[in-house]
Amino acid sequence: MRIIVWASFVVILGLYLFATQVPVSITPDKVAEAVSDAVSESQVPVDEDIVEQVVLRSLEKIDAGQRTRLTYLFAAYIVVWLVFMLYVLRLEQQQQVLDQRLAQLEPP
């Protein structure tokens, strides 16, 4: 039983490490291309460099917020997992005590 508990902890920890290392698929080249497309379609004159800088800063803030939320999400999962596993281990311990008491009560 303890092996299952530790194995599940390792799996949860591995998922956390994997999920927090997911690369962002939006590159500065893609941003520059999207900005130039949007500016070419726009009927209002705009400075492409300023728009690109603003978009890149916005993406950085969004990425930082996503990583923070992801960290909190996995922290909550780990806390719930720990509480559940402690409960399971406690039930196992109580079961062993009950088995011992039953063995004492049974006639030889």
More confident residue, 97 or 19: 97
- Whole-number percent of the chain with pLDDT over 90: 15
Average pLDDT over residues 54-78: 80
Residue 67, burial from CB neighbour count under 10 angstroms (0-12, 13-18, 19+): middle
Beta-carbon count within 10 A of 35 CB = 20
Name the nearest CA neighbour of 1 among 71, 78, 67, 96.
96
pLDDT in tens, 22-60: 555 677 777 777 777 777 777 777 787 888 888 888 877
Considering the chain, what is the average pLDDT of its residues? 80
Q: Domain extents for the chain?
A: 2-105
Q: What distances in angstroms separate CA 37 from CA 31, 62, 99, one per listed residue?
A: 10, 22, 73
In this predicted structure, the answer to whether residue 97 has a pLDDT above a threshold of 70 is yes
Name the nearest CA neighbour of 69 among 61, 57, 79, 58.
61
Give pLDDT, residue 20: 65
More confident residue, 76 or 6: 76
Do 2 and 82 touch, CB atoms closer than 8 A? no
Residue ranges with strand state E in 1-108: none
